[in-house]
Chain A
Amino acid sequence: MPVKPWTAFPQIASSEITPESVWLNRRSLMKAAAAGAGLATAGETVAESKPTLELDYAPAEDGTAFKAAEMLTPYDAATSYNNFYEFGTDKADPARYADTMTTDPWEIKVGGLVNKPGKLHLEDILTGFDLEERIYRFRCVEAWSMVVPWIGFPLSALLERFEPKAEGKFVEFKTLYRRGEMRGTRSFTSVIDWPYREGLRMDEAMNPLTLMTVGLYGKTLPNQSGAPLRLITPWKYGFKNIKSIVEINVTDRQPRTSWQDLAPQEYGFYANVNPEVNHPRWSQGWERRLPSSLFNPNRIRTQMFNGYSEQVAGLYKGMDLARYY
């Protein structure tokens, strides 16, 4: 299948970005203050309890869509406020309970319509690809958003190793499903049909923005963020960004996805960020940029394709985005 050549990104002003030293400083100050007062939030203690490793990576290039020129969401916020229903539906549950998941050894089965089906292991994904940092906006379908410095490699680089066949039109992903280690999957009122499944069209999968992610903030992903390997598609709602992937299949038909199965009128296959198409239960015109607080909710307008129109709008030319949401 034809893959669009990569075109240069437009320049984005970097005047608004917070220098790393500033937020690092702020973070260590906050930590010192918390320690001094004998306080520590759950996120901090849990995030630290399972060691994350420093990664070797190339920094994102200034002025490209790979490096959003916006203030970063602090590490503690990004790793203590997560949706990972395998560990419970509360945003704090993943940071609290995801430590029970074994991520080493880890194996990812790649198959379907590929010439060379096979497996990837933890070592392959951490050392077998050139890692880059990407600072992306992250917009959850629930109307909150973050800006996170992810570390990973393009999904296209992974797929090319397994040589997708010409008739492969879609890519399907599955999350680990291990009841003994995932308390949320044992909840009898949960209606998700595990394992969690997601999918992309092949041209979406091959887009340079699409990142197979192994880390954030310079370190490997903590479990609550989807260790050891997750997807990041910054122009789509967060639930597309499937975590803790164990299986990738190239298919010739559109894969079924978990949220679409559960509530097709609320969550579509495309799930492109779109302020014009509201979720049935809330407006998508606005988002809370985290951290947010009661007296400073930090509400900002949501942008079409989460601000990545230039890079991805072409993928959907002529499509009725209100119908294919």
Chain B
Amino acid sequence: MVIPSRWLDSIKAWILPGTINNSGASLFSIPAAWNPAFRAAVFIACLIPFLVLVNAVASNSLGPDPAEHLMHVTGEWVMRFLVLVLLATPLARYGWLRLVRYRRMLGLFVWFYATLHLLVFAQVFIGWSGEQLIEELAERPYVLVGFLAWVILVPLGVTSAQAIRRKMGRHWRTLHKLIYVVAVLGWLHLLWLSRSDVGDAVVYGLIIATLLVYRVRHVLVNASAKAS
């Protein structure tokens, strides 16, 4: 039975990571020849939320106050792509390598939607006023953490090119660990701006906490394995 044995492997991988070999064919494996087409499909899928927004703005169908909706939707997609990026490694350890193959693309979409989020803020909330930006950053911690998260994404995005990555060697990995900081700042941003309903912040908090705890646990398990 293929499925139960994969489940067993998954359980084993969770308890004893690093002891199973994931190189075998996965349930979800796709012929290698399909990869370029699949990559293009993933790219288009990631762009769909943006295209939907462009269409809505162009057809003026966002209601009388699109400011909040535009901020909300772009912000939500930042969080969703962040979760996908953070999911890639754990899923790869369980044998599903598909997501990790597109991690760079997904990471760039985090940056893309975060940039849109910032542009909408500049356009509808502060009217491109530097003075108002400074006031916002100085007086509103949630704006500050959100802005910081975007600032951190800039070097991550810039260094995502393959050539730069090669040049940077092991420093690249260290730098890109900052995505964990982005995730925590993004979550704080979401938490601090919620009003009476903290549902979203709780859901993302649980997901992100689980994914970060997974990393910490992995590091600890590896360290103890090395020590013994």
Contact surface of A with B, Cβ cutoff 8 Å: 41, 43, 73-74, 77, 80-81, 85, 89, 91-92, 142, 144, 187, 189-192, 262-263, 278, 280-283, 286, 288, 290-295, 297, 299
Chain B residues within an 8 Å CB radius of A74: 64
With contacts A41-B63, A297-B127 known, what are 8 further pairs, Cβ within 8 A?
A: A91-B68, A189-B197, A190-B196, A281-B142, A283-B135, A294-B57, A295-B57, A297-B124
- Name the residue among B64, B68, B127 with the largest chain A CB count within 10 angstroms: B64
Contact A81 B124 (CB under 8 A): no
Chain A residues within an 8 Å CB radius of B142: 281
Chain B residues within an 8 Å CB radius of A290: 64-65
Secondary structure at the B interface, as helix, strand, loop or mixed, is helix
Provide 14 A-B residue pairs closer than 8 Å at the C-beta atoms, listed in order of the A residue. A41-B63, A73-B64, A77-B64, A80-B63, A81-B64, A92-B63, A262-B196, A278-B139, A280-B139, A283-B136, A288-B67, A292-B67, A294-B66, A294-B120
Secondary structure at the A interface, as helix, strand, loop or mixed, is loop
For the complex, is B70 an interface residue (Cβ under 8 Å from A)?
A: yes
Chain A nearest Cβ from B73, distance in angstroms: 12
With A283-B136, A292-B124, A299-B127 as given contacts, are A41 and B61 in contact (CB-CB < 8 Å)? yes
Those 10 A-B pairs whose CB atoms lie nearest each other, nearest first = A77-B64, A189-B199, A291-B64, A290-B64, A297-B124, A81-B64, A89-B197, A294-B57, A189-B197, A191-B196
For the complex, is B101 an interface residue (Cβ under 8 Å from A)?
A: no
Bound-state Cα–Cα, A192 to B66, Å: 26
Contact B123 A297 (CB under 8 A): yes
Chain B nearest Cβ from A34, distance in angstroms: 10
With A190-B197, A191-B198 as given contacts, are A288 and B132 in contact (CB-CB < 8 Å)? no
With A91-B68, A283-B136 as given contacts, are A189 and B63 in contact (CB-CB < 8 Å)? no
Chain A residues within an 8 Å CB radius of B139: 278, 280
Chain A nearest Cβ from B75, distance in angstroms: 14
Chain A residues within an 8 Å CB radius of B125: 282
Chain A nearest Cβ from B146, distance in angstroms: 12
